[in-house]
Amino acid sequence: MENNEGRVYFAFDGDDFNPQEITEFLGLEPTNIKRKGSKIPGKLPNMSSWELSTERIVKEHIDIFKMSAQIVSVLQPKLDLIIAAKTLFKVEPRFQIVLTFSGNEEHSTPAIGFEVETIEFLGAIGAFVDIDTYKH
């Protein structure tokens, strides 16, 4: 029986920046980085990125409200630095939701939405939201 899967992450994307510099600037360790042109199995990234992600949740019920609030609670104290990083490193902030839906009709679909604090934070930093959905 397949469960729903999901994760939420915040990313900085840019043409060609050093993700380690953002790590040092923010004082936050990313969960993933990519350098433009680096070799990743099966891919060759066309941009650099710095990501801070929740764990990948695999269960019947996925709560995007809760997962989004978790990421924002880590980033909120860095609000001014995040805004400054956009200009300093020429990067764009992205808030990403990745969901894979169970094929089991008895499982509920993930709850997708954002608390007011999440929306205010994303607006303050000028982030866009991208939601990718897949089926098992």
Q: Considering only residues 102 and 122, tell me which one the structure prediction assigns the higher pLDDT.
A: 122
Cβ(27)–Cβ(106) below 8 Å: no
Run of H or E including 7: strand 4-14
**What percentage of the chain exceeds 90 in pLDDT?**
69
Helix extents (H) in 3-109: 19-26, 64-75, 79-89
Cβ(72)–Cβ(35) below 8 Å: no
Residue 117 pLDDT more than 90?
Answer: yes
| 62-77: pLDDT as tens digits | 899 999 999 999 999 9
The pLDDT of residue 86 is 97
Q: Which two tokens stand for residue 103?
A: 């094929």
Contacts of 86 (CB under 8 A, 6+ apart): 12, 92, 93, 125, 126
Could you give the count of Cα atoms lying within 13 Å of 105 in the half-sphere of its Cβ? 0
The pLDDT of residue 40 is 67
Least confident piece of the model among 60-69, 78-87, 116-125? 60-69
The pLDDT of residue 13 is 96
Q: Considering only residues 105 and 24, tell me which one the structure prediction assigns the higher pLDDT.
A: 24
Closest CA to 33 of 55, 43, 18, 46: 18
